[in-house]
Chains A and B, each alone.
Chain A
Amino acid sequence: MTVVQAGPERATATAAPLAPRAGLWPSLAAVYRAQLSRARVARIPLLFVATFQSIGIMIMMRGVVHAGDGEAARSVVAGSSVLVVAFVALNLLAQYFGQLRASGGLDHYATLPVPPASVVLGTAGAYASFTVPGTLVTAITGCLLFHLTLAGLWVLLLVIPLAGAALSGLGAALGLLAPRQEIATLLGQLGMSAALLLGVLPASHMPVPIRWVRDVLPSTYGVEAFARTLGGSGSTHWAAVAADLCVCGAVGVLSLALATRAYRRAACR
């Protein structure tokens, strides 16, 4: 480390070598692993809450919705399953980033040579992963409760990451852009409430303006994709499922890009 600094105004002859940057994928993996480990310390009670909330809603709805294949039963089961994703990836992640930003916790990452995308994607990925057990348990319970087929359950393996990307990107962006921590929490809660009301209730019973709101909510497309498969593979319109999943994926890319921009803005002023 040699330095020749002849004064701030003049150009420097030799500058000290810079340490290498951390690569995108290694640092994404490191952030993902670290975030996932937080589940053991902080997240497990909340994951139970997310699952019990969805199962509770389904039990409640069982009183007014008939079992067997039908739009209402599909909506309730698919909506409740995706609600777990919304609870964790949207609501909890908005709260986490809001808290991190308010408390100065982002400084830790901002003073390391790590690409912003790896922090956002690693954290969002971990939160989406937290939702896997709860979503599966909710979906299986729902299918049994409403006598729906379990044959289409595999589609959750696509729904969870894609809806997880869309909702966690949105959650991260809300948490990082909200001017105050309380507002981040509020926005996360509102997003989850919207996913609950607009996902669980059958769309055909909604007034047209509410359906427009439902159409702009990214969780809707995850709900739709899963709901379409609940009638059994014979009656599933696979092209529509693929289209719904594509919307989730596209929204995921956009919202994660927005969250990365929001992170840059929040981390360095």
Chain B
Amino acid sequence: MFVSTGTEETAAPTVATARDAVCTVRGLVRTYRAGRNPGRPSLRRGREAAPAPVRANDGVDLDVHRGELFGILGPNGAGKTTLVRQLTGLLRPDAGTIHLLGHDLVRHPDRAARLIGYLGQESTALDELTVALAAETTARLRGLDAPAARAARDAVLDELGLAPLAGRPLKRLSGGERRLACFATALVGERPVLVLDEPTTGMDPVARRAVWAAVDRRRTAHGTTVLLVTHNVIEAETVLDRVAVLDQGRVIACDTPAALRALVADEVRLDLVWRQEAPLGVPAVAALQPLAEIAGRRWTLRLPQDRARAAVAEVTGGPAFAALDDFTLAVPSLEDVYLALGGRGTGLVKA
């Protein structure tokens, strides 16, 4: 199922869209034998009776435009990392095509490294290097000569505020600092496309701002296209131009965050937190129970606006209020969109 709700894709003629496309993915399929880690399949040739294979990517179509900050959002296990590993030439698809900047990456996966700056989730190759040497070595391995690599290293460490940590090995840094240092290695040696797999994991707000500022500078100065993998809905809503929502290996929606949220615009989310047990003796509360997603003392309800208003009046006006610890009423987030579109995972993060 490919759901396109966007104004851009339906309004613009196909040819115009295609002309803008930096990355075009069609019908991408990647299957793992069951029991394998989808992100990193082992080479074990198991003789045990294999259960049904798992389709980590099941016919993915994407069009990423030049200069866009394009997000791939989905819970853990949705197939995000598998998709990115195919885009970066690390994994061969079983079927489908990937065209990046006019190059066929399925036929020539080695070209990905010459077009893309990639930030993966693992830093084990760099952990025992100092921040400065990690950046400089990566620049050398991206084809820069020694003076250019040193200049690129100094520039990126200054830009990200990493200069004070330059002499420290990555493994002795905090999680967020280490992530920022890895991000620095993805930036050295300009590339027209950046693929960032959950770049801000573990970062404090200052480091996050440094990341997005660096990304914006490259988009403004060089028209860099950025593909961002995330399971963080708040980040997705605030930084992305467009987002593809992935669920069980399929794109279930692809549009701007605002347009996606408009899909569920007539709903609001009501969170009720009870002090102890919910007062099910109150008829209004009992009536809400079947509609609620219950996690401990927290009930989450997605309701039409008027129904939500009525529910708030009922729980805050009557005897239920004594049992209520907290409540929030919020406009829908991309998580609500994901669930409204039939997303089956529950791994999206709001932080």
Which residues of A are at the interface with B, using a C-beta cutoff of 8 A?
1, 3-8, 12-16, 18-23, 26-27, 29-31, 33-34, 37-38, 41-42, 99-100, 103-114, 179-180, 265-269
Contact = CB atoms under 8 A, between A and B. Distances in A.
A26 to B, nearest CB: 6
Interface of B: 15, 18-19, 21-22, 24, 26, 39-45, 66, 85, 88-92, 97, 99, 101-103, 109-116, 118, 120-126, 128-130, 133-134, 136-138, 140-143, 145-146, 149, 169, 171, 185, 189, 191-192, 223
Nearest to A111: B118
A26 B15 contact: no
What 8 A-B pairs come out closest when comparing CB atoms? A15-B102, A105-B124, A16-B101, A30-B140, A108-B125, A12-B102, A104-B122, A105-B125
B107 to A, nearest CB: 12
Contacts of B91: 268-269
Contact of B169 (A4, A15, A41): A41
A6 B191 CA distance: 23
A227 to B, nearest CB: 35
A15 B103 contact: yes
A111 B116 contact: yes
B124 A19 contact: no
Contacts of A33: 133, 137
B120 A104 contact: yes
24 contacts: A1-B223, A4-B19, A8-B26, A15-B103, A16-B101, A16-B115, A18-B111, A18-B115, A19-B143, A21-B114, A21-B143, A27-B140, A27-B141, A30-B136, A31-B141, A37-B130, A41-B169, A104-B120, A105-B125, A107-B125, A108-B122, A113-B110, A113-B114, A269-B41
Nearest to A118: B141
Contacts of B185: 108
A59 B127 CA distance: 37
A114 B140 CA distance: 9
A37 B133 contact: yes
Given A5-B99, A16-B192, A104 B121 contact: yes
B171 A41 contact: yes
Nearest to B189: A19
Contacts of A179: 42-45
B42 A111 contact: no
A20 B88 CA distance: 17
A113 B44 CA distance: 28
Contacts of A266: 43
- Residue among B24, B125, B136 with max Cβ neighbours from chain A (10 Å): B125
A6 B15 contact: yes
Contacts of B102: 3-5, 12-16
Contact of B126 (A5, A23, A108): A108
A3 B22 contact: yes
Given A104-B122, A111-B118, A269-B41, A19 B191 contact: yes
A21 B142 CA distance: 7
A14 B71 CA distance: 26
Contact of A113 (B26, B113, B169): B113
Nearest to B39: A104
A18 B114 contact: yes
A19 B140 contact: no
Given A5-B21, A6-B18, A113-B143, A268 B89 contact: yes
A12 to B, nearest CB: 4
A12 B140 CA distance: 31
A103 B122 CA distance: 7
Given A110-B90, A111-B89, A7 B18 contact: yes
Most buried by A among B22, B113, B129: B113
A42 to B, nearest CB: 5
Contacts of B145: 26
B19 A22 contact: no
Contacts of B122: 103-105, 107-108
B24 A8 contact: yes
A110 B91 CA distance: 11
A34 B89 contact: no
A14 B89 CA distance: 21
Contact of A103 (B124, B133, B137, B140): B124
Contacts of B124: 99-100, 103-105
Given A8-B24, A22-B141, 18 more contacts: A3-B19, A3-B101, A5-B18, A5-B99, A12-B99, A18-B115, A21-B114, A22-B143, A30-B136, A99-B124, A107-B125, A108-B125, A111-B88, A111-B89, A112-B113, A179-B45, A268-B90, A269-B43
A3 B115 contact: no
A107 B120 contact: yes
Contacts of A103: 122, 124
B192 A113 contact: no
B40 to A, nearest CB: 5
A107 B99 contact: no
B128 A5 contact: no
Contacts of A15: 101-103
